[in-house]
Structure 1
């Protein structure tokens, strides 16, 4: 711990199945809410990639978790071949222990563990507050900027009402399940659409989709299109398999579905230069979204042809 002001820091331990519960405790202390049971256990269970529990937790002298940094191993398809990489995921520091160098220390240890685990490079989508730390202190490279498209929907704001009255949540969940039943696909996800355009992108294999079950998402079929969605404050599109000819009709039908669900907007994030970006940009304004950053771990593997959709980001 020579690189940090370790006042109050007792130890730093590698993430494991045994201490994942401490990540949940830290999340509650930092954000004021507790994730669903088993959330982090599922999120960091990436045994399918032959690398799991990649991260570190710092503890104070009372053996309470005070900081965490973790990455999610996965495979990137580059020139049609799977390459082991990892997405930078959760970064948390207890308010009482910020500005002590813990984030940098935990990140550097995680990068060393990644190299030992055969991970070739890292990628991430930090918010604007975290971006300077990754770039200036940890030598990540920002290579691109994703765009967001927001489609307003005129409807009774059922989702907002439920958020204010949690007692209605179960009723609303049952209602959404009933409405979506006619659209549901048995699939748990869809292949990355950027791969169909000659770009490199994430391999959404069976292991990846099983890991992704930490988040409540659904695949629906509308207008002969396959849409991977998540219902949050709006209808969030993770990825969309649709032909250009069917795009307008699919979006119009998706707006009608959002109206039934009481969702006031549809949202989609994607890399620039993709076909879906062009199709959305013809109808809606592009808004700057997540920065895309990479950190090579000595592999020299080119990443300039990699593209992403919102389904690739760990918060989807």
Structure 2
């Protein structure tokens, strides 16, 4: 049972310092206030801040993140939300805060017309997800493709002052192959799955991280320059074209100082079938959902790496 001395405040632009504190204390991550404000500014959906921070006296102690977005099915748009950033100080764990925050978040979601919630669950969050009644759709698979080069990206990412320069460098490397975000479509939806709607507004929202779109050998890709080169989605017509694009992507990754390319794929998709026939993989996130009356064929829900809240 939750301690009655806890109080709950709706997430706002002016209490992001409290969220910043929780990231630092729970995960050891030091995010700028501007990053958190951008991540939780989902105004493009018409709603934002559909969650609360829990406090004990004056100290923030727990948080349950909610990031609204849109799903697309049969050319129709549905308001959805991804849950993420489950943060609780160690001294306040096992006191019912996660459930209380979840209940409050879902109350807000229902009130504001969210039709379905989804999550990409780690092993740590999977157990609590089962207790809270989440439906599970199986695991994504992660493919780590090595690139022969010096580990420049990993070294630079440890030097916070050099991140902006390195981001500019990676953009220059891919400059001739960069395409406008408004030209990009979700490969899963093109393939007939239920998924996140990719739109100019969605990609404008996603600019709080260093991600962009490229085209190689007729294959379009959504990538992010991090410690490794992360691939958020791949649109391809043939397996041969995809493999040629991956070969070229490895060259660009090596030139940029990335020792690994990481691609994640959902079950039963064309991308998974192609990658499984050529590369080894390991289980990654579990896709979970709670239907809030959407009427959608939830068994068709699939996710890309780019759908992860920090991509």
- TM-score, structure 2 as length reference: 0.93
Structure 1 counterpart of 2:173, from 151, 173, 179: 179
Alignment of 1:1-316 (within 5 A): 3-6=1-4, 9-61=5-57, 63-136=58-131, 138-163=132-157, 169=163, 172-187=166-181, 190-244=184-238, 245-316=240-311
Per-residue displacement from partner, 1:27-68 (whole Å, max 9, x unpaired)?
A: 12222232134112111111222221111101121x121111
Count, aligned residues: 310
Q: CA deviation at 1:167?
A: 6.1
CA change 1:47–1:163 in 2 (3 A) is closer
Seen in structure 2, the aligned counterparts of structure 1 residues 13 and 114 have a Cα distance that, compared at 3 Å, is same
**TM-superposed deviation, 1:300:** 4.5
Q: Summarize deviations over 1:97-139 as a string: whole Å, max 9, x none.
A: 1121111110111111111111111110111011110112x11
Q: C-alpha separation between the residues in 2 aligned to 1:168 and 1:118?
A: 42
Could you tell me which runs of 5 or more consecutive residues in structure 2 were left unpaired when the two chains were aligned: none
> Which 10-residue stretch deviates more, 205-214 or 194-203?
205-214
Q: Root-mean-square deviation (CA), in Å?
A: 1.9
Q: Deviations over 1:195-225 (max 9, x none)?
A: 1111121111232222212222111222222
Unmatched 5+ stretches in structure 1: none
For the Cα contact (< 8 Å) 1:46–1:74, is it kept in 2?
yes
1:189–1:141 Cα change, 3 Å: farther
Secondary structure at the residue paired with 2:178?
coil
8 Å CA contact 2:142, 2:282 repeated in 1: yes
Tell which deviates more after alignment, 174-183 or 198-207. 174-183
Aligned-partner Cα distance in 1 for 2:159–2:203:
32
Please give the secondary structure, in 2, of the residue aligned with 1:129: helix
Q: Normalized against structure 1, the TM-score is what? A: 0.91
Point out the structure with the larger helix share.
2
